[in-house]
Amino acid sequence: MILGNSEIKRLIEDKKLIEEHEEKNIQGAGVDFRARTFYRPSGDTKVHKESRTLPEISEISGDTVSIKPNELILVETIEKVNMPSDIAARILPRSTLCRCGVYLLTAFVDPGFSGRLTVGLKNMSNHSFELEKGARIMQVMFEKTEGDTVDYDGRYQGGKVV
């Protein structure tokens, strides 16, 4: 069951579901999240059964970033989530990104996760795309889970970028 506006607001108040949000960004059935920090990944990577090599990242300075055609950057959100054990979340792109030819690469937000969210942005168009810090880039939809859950205890707990 996707949570509506009133339940999201209640969880923000009672459980600090989202920190550093703007009230106007709480939509009917989700919350718009904004860009805080930009990173450029580089280097060879791998994901094997027993090991992984993640990219090196460098923070992109300035209030805006220009993403070239076919370029990928990582974006950390202003908002921080504190997921209760019975709530999970899905991340969707704002339709404006789609209209600009920019693809949002996301993952599932597990119950028990706490921290800022990091997503990938890939410019799929033939033109540069400029993004400013504070711009709304995605909508997060919260869902009630049924049955027993296990709180997230992975490497990105606390909002680590890599």
The pLDDT, as a whole number, for residue 12 is 97
| Regions of the chain where pLDDT drops below 70 | none
Burial class (CB in 10 A: 0-12, 13-18, 19+), 145: middle
Residue 17 lies in a domain: yes
Percent of the chain exceeding pLDDT 70 equals: 100
Q: What is the pLDDT of residues 62-76, one digit of tens each?
A: 999 999 999 999 999
> What CATH number does the domain containing 27 carry?
2.70.40.10
Residue 12 lies in a domain: yes
Residue 162 lies in a domain: no
Residue 67 lies in a domain: yes
Residue 110 lies in a domain: yes
Residue 49 lies in a domain: no
Interior/surface letters 79-118, b for 16+ CB within 10 angstroms, e for the rest: bbbbbbeebbbebebbeebeebebbbebeebbbbbebbbb
Residue 101 lies in a domain: yes
The pLDDT, as a whole number, for residue 160 is 86
Q: Report the 10 Å Cβ neighbour count for 14.
A: 9
CA distance linking residue 90 with residue 39, whole number of Å: 22
Domain count, the chain: 1
Residue 83: which domain range?
A: 5-43+55-144
Which residue type, as a one-letter code, is found at position 10?
R
Residue 157 lies in a domain: no
CA distance linking residue 111 with residue 75, whole number of Å: 21
Question: Strand pairing partners for 73?
Answer: 121
The pLDDT, as a whole number, for residue 162 is 82
